[in-house]
Amino acid sequence: MELIKFSALFAVTAVSEILGCYLPWLILKQDKSPWLWLPAIGFLVLFAWLLTLHPSAAGRTYAAYGGMYISVALLWLYWIEGINLTRWDIAGAGLALAGMAIIMLQPRV
């Protein structure tokens, strides 16, 4: 149950980070409205706040979060950008999620 809770929080955190970076990308690369800076800043603030909700030390949280970020970024690639994932993408995401689980479920001392 603990892993599901961590994973869900990390997934929401990753979506916030990706949106906070994707909106400026749209502004700078696709000449979208500069008003997108406002929600982008909001998403990045939300991202930073969500990372503080984890009970682990910051460095451990960031390391474990990286595994979920990789997986969510690949899902973004597929769902938002319309690019099919390769078996290498899927294997890499699986390894990253396994690493996240190992870090987050280690015995607490």
Q: What is the mean pLDDT of the chain?
A: 94
**Among 5, 12, 8, which Cα is nearest to 49's?**
12
Q: By residue range, what is the domain housing residue 44?
A: 2-104
Beta strands in 2-109 (DSSP E): none
Considering its fold, how many domains does the chain have in total? 1
pLDDT digits (tens, 9 = 90+) for 42-83: 999 999 999 999 877 888 889 999 999 999 999 999 999 999
pTM: predicted TM-score of the whole model, two decimal places = 0.90
CA–CA distance from 30 to each of 34, 35, 76 (Å)? 11, 14, 18
Q: Look at residue 25 in the predicted model and tell me its pLDDT.
A: 97
Given a cut of 80, whether residue 107 has pLDDT beyond it is yes
- The answer to whether residue 109 is domain-embedded is no
Residue 16: pLDDT band (50, 70, 90) is very high
Q: Look at residue 65 in the predicted model and tell me its pLDDT.
A: 92
